[in-house]
Amino acid sequence: MKETKAQARIKNMINFIHKHPHCTTRDIATELKSTQRTIQLDLKYLREEWKDGEVQSSRGRHSITLYATPSKQGNKEREKIFLKLALESLENLTDLSDQYPALVENHNLKNLAIPYYIKAEEYEALNTDEEEIKELDSAIKNDTIIEFSFQGKYYHVEPYRLVNFDGIWYLYGRDIEEREENDHKTWLLQDIDDVVQYYGEKHDTPDEEIDEDLANAHAASFIPDKAFDVQLKVSAKVAKLFRLKNHIPRQNSTIQTDGSLHVTSTISTIEEIDPEIKSWLPHIEVIEPLWYKEQLEDELKVYVQNLSILQPFT
């Protein structure tokens, strides 16, 4: 079928805007030797009917995002790969394992060849059909204040998120009664019982603030808005591995002339980094704070002394 003048004009307009982002209606009309009124009608048509892209207009200037590209099929394949990887990594994280086969079947992922493999950490299972979890989920979504029993005490709490640290689930929120030194804290999820929502009470803590706090957290013991600095030395032998990811919160590494790393970090509690530090021994040394350096040395001395008095296995 022969292309109409209107179709040709719209195609040329799309190409022009794509090559000249933030162009004006006058720019387009001049390029296509058309009137501004005609171009305005064409833009209106694209905004309402065009399925292969989107026109963005701001202060009289226009840009285009194309959806239909030569790599569209390749993009769909990559989307499926990442979807399957995500489902596999979450399979044991929640009760998703019951739905996993159906999800794989529905999205045609069963025979999908994947050149990647992610070794997922072992997680405590989370049953999202459990009544307590449903109640917490509802309260978090609706910003509702709750009360619950935890290890023999009742807490009045602003619930923010269900979070997972080191494979274990916690509720993160604020203790309204502030009976603890840290009113923002985490509660071990499996020890939470008798959740009750106070439907007349809501909190107004912004999601952005909650997510920022959690983005800077490295362990369940973190305390928002409390910070002190830690300095470490990492030996050259493991420096490359240590730099591949952030092993500690807000990790900042500087390579030294001998190949070692000088690492700085800002944390809120020593528990945020203590297990990680010990896992890198003997290739890591605490420089500051001195009190933590001495505490670690004392713990290691006790550990070695206990080893020396242990009877060998027979």
What is the tens place of the pLDDT at every residue in 124-147?
777 777 888 999 999 999 999 999
Residues 240 and 172 in one domain: no
Segment 62-78 shows an average pLDDT of 64
User: Residue 223 falls within a domain, yes or no?
Assistant: no
- Helix then strand then coil, % of the chain, to nearest 5: 40, 25, 35
pLDDT digits (tens, 9 = 90+) for 160-214: 999 988 888 999 999 988 755 668 889 999 999 999 998 888 899 888 888 888 8
Look up the domain containing 299 and give its range: 228-308
Q: Quick one: 108 and 174 in the same domain?
A: no
Residues 168 and 208 in one domain: yes
What's the whole-number average pLDDT of the chain? 83
- Domain membership of residue 58 (yes or no) is yes
Report the 10 Å Cβ neighbour count for 170: 20
Spatial contact of 210 and 190, defined as CB atoms under 8 Å apart: no
Distance CA 96, CA 102 (A): 10
Q: Same domain for 113 and 178? A: no
**Residue 258 placed within a domain:** yes
**Number of domains observed in the structure of the chain:** 4
Q: Do 234 and 283 contact (CB within 8 A), yes or no? A: yes
Given a contact cutoff of 8 angstroms between Cβ atoms, the answer to whether 213 and 173 are in contact is no
**What are the pLDDT digits (tens) for 8-25?**
888 888 888 888 888 899
* Residue ending a domain, choose from 66, 88, 107: 66
Same domain, 183 and 146: yes
Could you tell me the pTM of the whole model?
Answer: 0.61
Q: Indicate whether 292 belongs to any domain.
A: yes
**Neighbour count for residue 221 (Cβ, 10 Å):** 17
The span from the CA of 45 to the CA of 43, in Å, is 5
Q: What is the CATH number of the domain that holds 290?
A: 3.30.70
Question: Quick one: pLDDT at residue 72?
Answer: 47
CATH number for 55? 1.10.10.10
**What is the Cα–Cα distance from 274 to 300, expressed in whole angstroms?**
13
Asked whether residue 150 is domain-assigned, the answer is yes
